[in-house]
Structure 1
């Protein structure tokens, strides 16, 4: 896993794929909720990562277009959501990641965020992937639950066709029967063979898609175990959805990490990361 990959630089302090630096944390609530809560989550994670010396990128979605039910909460929408994300960047002082669902959203989101993300379900949508690449921003691709690790090679080619080589690849589990996901840890080194940094999504990997009927279920108790296993392979970053009270979260509550448990998970992950990198 520690073969050389392209270093993807976000800023002076955050460089993905640099074995001389600690892994990066991408974290935040699944979807943007009320402003005070969103700001508090961002501030709390920043405090934790600052104490631990971990580079931090805030993530949250302005729209969750792939909800299980028509009645599910989707978020504030593009315009209001980007305004809130901009406020997070300004007041908390952290870089941003958000996902886009349609090609014409990519350029608009790129005006505010530092990393444009392709959702897993849309990772084969050529027009969307190319539009994200054309923004010139870092593009994080969530590997679809239906894709083999080597299938991501074609997605990489689509982004590279735009001249953009600032690419991150994220593993979030693969479909395993009905309403279940499993993580094949072999996927992480295989995806890194593309020459780009690899991210492990520790919370969506414990999701049970559609498993609660009108919503997705999940089992957050397995997040620490999968995190330690993935960091042991030498990933470049961790992706986690976090919330101060996941049981009342408006999306993905069952698989989100409670804020008061985040630091403990990261401390162990950092220790493994240092061993793997020989730091």
Structure 2
């Protein structure tokens, strides 16, 4: 995990802590991303948690054709970079095709590969060739051990800076479940493993055209992940999820984050003794 220590070199943190990837689902406005970054960075600084700011510059995977996708690629990426520079934070955003890797890499520190695309060789190789950290979300249709093939593709392209993220497994048509065995299984690939505590609670494929969720269980997912040894947590958060333009049904309300992280830090200290 040396590449992660280098990533967080400008932050003061407890190296025994989990790291946090957090932010709004998508860049909606400058006011939103700055508010979230300011709040979350302050909380993490006080708790000694290394922090990566996350926001999608564009949402390509939407249920409905009429769903909000972003404020424009250039505008979205520029605002993510502005957040990183202002708060001295590493940043991440997802890409959706191989030809997006190089342009996005000019703005962010970590390229995130969406779960549905984790088997796409061209996007994995393109992300790897940027030299940036590549965070691959495990497909909802894959086991942790099967992610070795995604890891191998990135390594063969000459990049060892790989993170894997667990985000639940498809259960029927409209639900997901989390198999916590995937955390140690994916760590066996020699990569840090993150638990996505919000997308794992999605209820996709609703006939309304809007994905549902169970945000009241975010704490449950996060606590179990910390207890089972996850290296990092991924939590999307918004000041008012009810009016969020993407994934509001499964985001954590921003004012609830501090209390949850305080609990998780205490739990991490207990779990690290075993």
TM-score interval, smaller chain: over 0.9
Residues matched between the structures, number: 272
Unaligned runs of 5+ residues in structure 2 are: none
1:218-252 CA-to-partner distances (Å, cap 9, x unmatched) read 01000001110111011100000000000000000
Q: Distance in 2 between matches of 1:274 and 1:94?
A: 24
Alignment of 1:123-202 (within 5 A): 123-202=118-197
1:47-73 CA-to-partner distances (Å, cap 9, x unmatched) read 111111111100000111010000000
SS in 1 for 2:111: strand
SS in 2 for 1:11: helix
Alignment of 1:202-213 (within 5 A): 202-211=197-206, 213=208
Query: Which TM-score applies when normalising by structure 1?
Result: 0.93
Corresponding residue for residue 242 of structure 2 = 247
Q: Which range is displaced more, 59-68 or 263-272?
A: 263-272
The structure with higher relative contact order (CA 8 Å, sep 6+) is: 1
SS in 2 for 1:75: coil
1:112-132 CA-to-partner distances (Å, cap 9, x unmatched) read 101011001111111001100
Corresponding residue for residue 275 of structure 1 = 270
How far apart are residue 91 of structure 1 and its match? 1.9
Which one of the candidate residues 103, 108, 112 is aligned to 1:108?
Answer: 103
Corresponding residue for residue 30 of structure 2 = 35
Q: Distance in 1 between matches of 2:60 and 2:115?
A: 12
How far apart are residue 10 of structure 1 and its match? 5.4
How far apart are residue 86 of structure 1 and its match? 1.5
The answer on 1:79 being equivalent to 2:74 is yes
Which one of the candidate residues 214, 233, 236 is aligned to 1:219?
Answer: 214
Unaligned runs of 5+ residues in structure 1 are: 1-5
How far apart are residue 210 of structure 1 and its match? 2.3
Q: Distance in 2 between matches of 1:258 and 1:140?
A: 24
Taking only aligned residues, the RMSD between alpha carbons, in angstroms, comes to: 1.8
Q: Distance in 2 between matches of 1:212 and 1:79?
A: 33
Distance 1:46 1:20, change over 3 A: closer
Query: Which TM-score applies when normalising by structure 2?
Result: 0.95
Q: Distance in 1 between matches of 2:203 and 2:146?
A: 23
CA contact (8 A) 1:31 1:75 kept: yes
Q: Which runs of 4+ in 1 moved over 4 A?
A: none
